[in-house]
Chain A
Amino acid sequence: MTMRPAVVAGAWLLAACLAALSLGPSRIPPMDVAAALLQGLGLDFRVDERTLAIVASLRLPRMLMAALVGGMLALAGATLQGLFRNPLADPGVLGITGGATLGAVTAIFFGASAMGGAVLPLAGFAGALAAAIAVDRLARVDGRIPVASLLLSGIALEALSRALTGVLIYASDDRQLRDITLWLLGSYAGASWDRLLLIAPFALLSACALPFFARGLDALMLGEREAGHLGIPVETLKRLAVGVAALGVGAVVSVAGPVGFVGLVVPHLVRLTHGPGHRRLIPLAAAYGAALSVAADTLARILVAPAELPVGLVTAAIGAPFFAFLIRREKRRLAA
């Protein structure tokens, strides 16, 4: 891919990250933010303890978490849209979001909110993996996974997870209900270095799988048979792409909740602006997904300070109108 789009995407991401580090309910001058970051690296800049804690222990891990979650969701969305050859696919269609939600809601139901630590993310992750395995089994026909069957299995599983989640919601008391509702809206409030370490390997794994996916997904634009004729191991590609998407989405949803919109719309936006080639689409979607997520979380943190909004509300509020605008513009271009 040519460098310019990458540089622009990187600049947006950098701007979003700088904003996330310097803005917040606490007013901290940019110089102090920089000093606190450097001090976090071991240099002594005589930054007071509270500033250091806010910048290095709250804002920095949270920004990284927002970037990882947003990047991962957009990446998975781009991959799945390519795999399903359908621009409306998102991480939800595999049943993974539903599985993670069911896992997390089950944990909340049985009192995980009070246990703290990693119980909730682990339960969400377990739910996501269980869903991915179930979808794989359901969709398999004679050792192959036809895309239509994968899509239908994912939808069936998502519906099942939703039904079971509904049962738990029904059986919850009012406090669990509030917890579940808040979790469903998505939030990065629990960001910490521990949780970052929990999801970082999956982001790394996905990044490594990128070149392979991009090539195969490009060929898949022509159709599954055609991709096969071009030498793409289509079944392997499907299995790997679904697996990586499932792991990644499961990991990020379990720590952040189902942050909506990013996985569906960011890949779509990038496709509208930079074309459907996956070599460009996948990395750009990851960068813009991360940037949107970081920017949305910054707004979530400052809009109603000292309280916070669930980040999912903000991603939807920023993204949906922007999406509508782009579609309108695109329609005009197509009509012309």
Chain B
Amino acid sequence: MRSLLLAAALAVAGAIPAFAEPPQRIVVAGNGLTEIVYALGAGDRVAAVDTTSLYPKRAQDLPKVGYLRALAAEGILSLKPDLLLVTDDAGPPAVLAQMAGAGLRVVKAREGHSAEILAERVRMVGSILERGDAAGELEKGLAADFAALAQSLAASPTRPRIVFVLSAGGGTPLAAGADTSAEAMFKLAGAVNAIDGYKGYKPLSAEALAGSGAAVIVTVTHSLQALGGEAAMRALPQFAGAKNMRIVSFDGDYLLGFGPRTAHAARDLAAALRPNETIAKLPERPWVAAP
């Protein structure tokens, strides 16, 4: 019963902002959302972020409310926020219910990895924060950038097969399958995920990697550092059959964040995958340059 009520409350909150004042103290959980809030010029209203919100750098100086999926009710309430903005997968659900029960406005953004959902999130955040103009500008810019990227990729003859590898804290490398933000980025960058047949991340096996026919291994800087650099990574048994594959690395939240910088990240990925071609640079945007 209580969860039903909560769902109803959330639906109402998400659809019709029923509050007179725009929120002044926001707690954001989910790196893409944090980036959007900052891109819309509302960074000074952010009171705290979760541990996945690493960009912009300024956000890292704020109090941390913990991991996206392990939020703490009283911790967040103690910051006296007037809005908790989270992605759909934030949790635990019981804690979100507690905070809503304590009178905190909780707004959930739809989870997903596509240009459409990104645009939808930008609109939603813009409307809640009453930053409609900035949101419109961001949405338009993103649409133009995605379109420009698609155009240059249409002209490219190559569709590189790639494998995305992640290692949490130097542990066993995991490879991205279907339904991951990595795979969504591959699509935007005109590339093909050479690993299919499962969803999410699974431990990488030497045989699967060798048999994938991938030309490039994409990873994030954090994982590469945790494994001890490119040479150390190649020395792992899982990479035995990957002698001829190139390794390309990107900043994790840039590549996988699905925020305002995603069009540029996709373009940079597309270019890195095609060293012999020229992929047109996207115009400089204020939300990409932000420190």
Roughly how many angstroms separate A47 CA and B257 CA in the complex, as a whole number? Answer: 42
Pairwise interchain contact B201-A26, C-beta atoms closer than 8 A: no
Pairwise interchain contact A189-B72, C-beta atoms closer than 8 A: yes
Interface positions, chain A 1-58, Cβ under 8 Å from B, are 24-27, 49-50, 53-54, 57-58
- In the assembled complex, A149 has its CB within 8 A of some CB on chain B: no
- In the assembled complex, B244 has its CB within 8 A of some CB on chain A: no
**Cβ-neighbour of A194 out of B2, B70, B199 (below 8 A):** B2
Interface positions, chain B 61-104, Cβ under 8 Å from A, are 63-67, 69-70, 72-80, 89, 91-95, 97-98, 101-103
- In the assembled complex, B151 has its CB within 8 A of some CB on chain A: no
Pairwise interchain contact A26-B78, C-beta atoms closer than 8 A: yes
Contacts of A53 in B (CB 8 A): 77, 101-103
Contacts of B80 in A (CB 8 A): 50
Roughly how many angstroms separate A141 CA and B199 CA in the complex, as a whole number? Answer: 46
Interface positions, chain A 161-185, Cβ under 8 Å from B, are 170, 172-176, 178-179, 182
Pairwise interchain contact B94-A116, C-beta atoms closer than 8 A: yes
- In the assembled complex, B200 has its CB within 8 A of some CB on chain A: yes
- In the assembled complex, A114 has its CB within 8 A of some CB on chain B: yes
Pairwise interchain contact B78-A189, C-beta atoms closer than 8 A: no
Pairwise interchain contact A25-B93, C-beta atoms closer than 8 A: no
The interface on chain B, measured as residues whose beta carbon lies within 8 A of the other chain's beta carbons, has a size of 39
Contacts of B72 in A (CB 8 A): 25, 189, 301, 305-308
Contacts of B64 in A (CB 8 A): 306-307
Roughly how many angstroms separate A170 CA and B180 CA in the complex, as a whole number? Answer: 17
**Cβ-neighbour of A54 out of B3, B97, B102 (below 8 A):** B102
Roughly how many angstroms separate A26 CA and B102 CA in the complex, as a whole number? Answer: 13
The interface on chain A, measured as residues whose beta carbon lies within 8 A of the other chain's beta carbons, has a size of 39
Pairwise interchain contact A192-B94, C-beta atoms closer than 8 A: yes
What's the least CB distance linking A12 to chain B, in Å? 23
Pairwise interchain contact A58-B93, C-beta atoms closer than 8 A: no
Nearest B residue to A176 via CB reads: B200
- In the assembled complex, B174 has its CB within 8 A of some CB on chain A: yes
Pairwise interchain contact B97-A116, C-beta atoms closer than 8 A: yes
**Cβ-neighbour of A172 out of B79, B94, B102, B200 (below 8 A):** B200
Contacts of A307 in B (CB 8 A): 51, 64-67, 70, 72, 75
What's the least CB distance linking B26 to chain A, in Å? 14
Pairwise interchain contact B98-A58, C-beta atoms closer than 8 A: yes
Pairwise interchain contact B93-A175, C-beta atoms closer than 8 A: no
Nearest B residue to A182 via CB reads: B70
Nearest B residue to A189 via CB reads: B95
- In the assembled complex, A115 has its CB within 8 A of some CB on chain B: yes
Roughly how many angstroms separate A25 CA and B27 CA in the complex, as a whole number? Answer: 15
Pairwise interchain contact B95-A54, C-beta atoms closer than 8 A: no
Pairwise interchain contact A175-B77, C-beta atoms closer than 8 A: no
Pairwise interchain contact A174-B201, C-beta atoms closer than 8 A: yes
Contacts A54-B102, A116-B92, A116-B97 aside, 5 further interface pairs with beta carbons under 8 A come to A24-B74, A24-B78, A117-B3, A173-B199, A301-B72
Give the interface of B toward A (CB within 8 A). Answer: 2-3, 48, 51, 63-67, 69-70, 72-80, 89, 91-95, 97-98, 101-103, 166, 168, 174, 180, 199-201, 203
